[in-house]
A and B are shown apart, each in its own frame.
Chain A
Amino acid sequence: MKRHVLAALGLATAFAVPAHAEDPVRVGLLLPFSGVYAALGNDIEAGFDLGLETFAPDSGFEVIREDTEVKPPVALAKTRKLILQDKVDVIAGVVSSGVLGAVRDAVHGAGVPLIVANAGNDDATGSACSPWITRMSFSNGQVNRPMGQWLHDQGITRVFTLAPDYAGGRQMIGGFVEGFTAAGGEIAGQEFTPFQKTQDFGPYLAKAKASGAQAVYVFYAGSEAISFVKQYDSFGMKAELPLYGSGFLTSPLYVNAEGPAAAGVVTALHYVPTIDTEENRAFVTAFEARTGRLPSEYAVQGYDSARALVEAAATGARGRAGLGEALRQVQFTGPRGQTSIDPATNNIVQPIYVYETVQGDDGMTQKILAELPARPDAANGCEMAPVAN
């Protein structure tokens, strides 16, 4: 008996050796672990680690972590270090679009595949697209555009929009306005508030109220989102002027800080933890066991980035060019539903969920109202070349 076991063991090792003899895939994880987006960076990292553990349990990946500090020059220096010194095969991460803009030419020029795990700048998969940059998160326009048609279908024809005054805010609102006016809606007024300098939204709320709109559509994220939702509620505007927006407004990451003020707010996003599929339930359970909190859209972006990487490597692809090419072919059904990469832009194609934030037994939760079909973004000036050195 013992001999049989030993023989089996020997056989197993003999088969295992070739796989392990191969060098592991070296991954640079480029995320903000300090600065304003540290919470996002930590959530993406937790998702990414869980993804690697789930889909590549015998490892085969070596992860080198670098902190961008949300500063473009720091991120660029760290990217160069990952490419030149650590000689990584692939880089994943990048939360801020400013950082993505700074590292874009470095990865494009060096021919290192970059899996974008957040930064939603439309241009990154539009006029500034690169065959080396694959986005597993979302694009700003993609999340908001389908909401225009949906809102119009609900009988709302006049909307006031609000967002912080920076590229991301303008693209989010731009996407919505494009969809809403195409559906026949009318914009009653638009305001862009000074980014991260606005403490009091009171003046803008009074303007929205006086504009004669039927509803308000906004994009805010992080601490601005918390302030906005609470102030909107304290003015008692939700009853007469319902609040809609991009789903980051009521992200599960901080919706409990908004509390009951967020109840009844309807927003659209590419992921909510209450999606009722087997893949998502498994992901939510595993993530909760690991971190003690529900996964946010950021966590799922990290998780799916890791899965895309594992699936690309599973095709046998190795090296920068091989992995870069394989990443563009990746498609799978994950927690968010069926996702694939659009060959024209390298942006993810995914369904968008319209959800209402409601009071649950254990804090605020998300009630899905509609699943809008996946549609690729327009190419927006992107001319995709094949990966080549």
Chain B
Amino acid sequence: MTTDPGFWLLQTLNALQLSMLLFLLSIGLTVIFGLMHFVNLAHGALYAAGAYVAASVSAVAGFWAGLVLAPLAVAVIGVLLYGGLIRRMRRSGPMAQVLVTFGLIFVALDLTRLIWGDIALASAMPPLLEGRLSVLGIDYPLYRLFVIGLGLVVFAALAFVLGRTQIGAMIRAGVDNDAMAACLGINVERLFFIVFCLGCALAGLAGAVAAPLLSVSPDMGLQILIPTLIVIVIGGLGSLQGAIAGSLVYGFVQTFGAVLAPGLASVLIYGLLAAILVIRPTGLFPAKG
């Protein structure tokens, strides 16, 4: 193995970039789960929808318009989902919820195939982020640095909202004990609705960010679902710290696994998942003490 420090810095940046992409995706899922005890397996489908909307919009109006419109469009899908399905399913138990949202994955898959076709699309990078930047002696693609930066900004913003604002305190109270929070006069149901839509918008944002990096294909939502679930199980359900920690663990294990033990790369993360489930069944940073 090489001892060139540039090589290892490059791999660290790669790991960070993958982590931040997963963070954007898993934070929405984990907060929805933590607050609503609702398992939304269709989260990956929302991510795919975000990528498709971003690819279509950016072909007409440029990357930045897509980056803004995709989360909005997916939030609208979230509103429809909440009104039509989720609210009814709130009290029906995890098994029914898992089955319904699992079914939604396939509905979404065929809808994207009907609307956008089977051939994978691509979305162009914005000219501003097309080049490479020299970081400590290595050339790294600017767009990947943008993904890392965006992940950190979203993390900081959510940490601020959840930790320092009134609505954050209400969300934390709802996650901790929703019945008690309701008794204190917090409209928990409306809080759920806001959080659900925000979670959807973040999935859309993740899709829009991923579109220029990867290809946009109907099954992309299905492919990202398992990594996202691993992230939130490792990190601990329902917590921001858990989502970022889980994403970093996944990104680094996946990247350095591919470098150091390529034969084991695909198994390594599952091994770690099993180990964490045995040692700390609630994850690294569970929302409830």
Contacts and interface: CB of A to CB of B under 8 A. Distances in A.
B249 interface: no
A294 to B, nearest CB: 12
B113 A202 contact: no
Nearest to A226: B215
B258 A227 contact: no
A37 to B, nearest CB: 8
Contacts of A236: 132, 139, 141
A254 B120 contact: yes
Contacts of B119: 39, 253-254, 257
Contact of B122 (A202, A209, A259): A259
Contacts of A227: 213-215
B25 to A, nearest CB: 11
A223 B118 contact: no
Interface in A40-97: 42
Interface in B253-284: 254-256, 258-259, 262, 265-266
Interface string A188-222: 00011110110110111011011000000000001
Chain A contact-residue range equals 35 or more
Nearest to B256: A203
B74 interface: no
Contact of A206 (B14, B125, B227): B14
A204 B213 contact: no
B36 to A, nearest CB: 28
A206 B215 contact: no
A235 B125 CA distance: 13
B237 interface: no
A36 B120 CA distance: 10
B255 A196 contact: no
B14 A257 contact: no
Nearest to B129: A234
Interface stretch (B4-12, B149-157, B173-181): B4-12
Contacts of A231: 213
B217 A204 contact: no
Nearest to A261: B122
B224 interface: yes
B172 interface: no
A372 to B, nearest CB: 28
B157 to A, nearest CB: 24
B266 A196 contact: no
A385 to B, nearest CB: 39
A42 B258 CA distance: 35
Given A222-B120, A257-B122, A191 B144 contact: no
B258 A193 contact: yes
The 6 A-B residue pairs with the shortest CB-CB distance, nearest first, are A226-B215, A202-B14, A257-B122, A39-B118, A194-B266, A223-B217
30 contacts: A34-B110, A38-B113, A191-B258, A194-B265, A194-B266, A196-B223, A197-B266, A200-B254, A202-B10, A202-B18, A202-B255, A203-B15, A204-B258, A206-B7, A206-B10, A206-B11, A206-B14, A209-B7, A222-B120, A222-B217, A223-B217, A223-B220, A226-B120, A227-B214, A230-B122, A230-B214, A234-B143, A235-B132, A254-B215, A257-B122
Interface of A: 34, 36, 38-39, 42, 165, 191-194, 196-197, 199-200, 202-204, 206-207, 209-210, 222-227, 230-231, 234-236, 253-254, 257-259
Given A193-B258, A199-B210, A234-B125, 6 more contacts: A191-B262, A194-B266, A202-B14, A202-B17, A203-B259, A223-B220
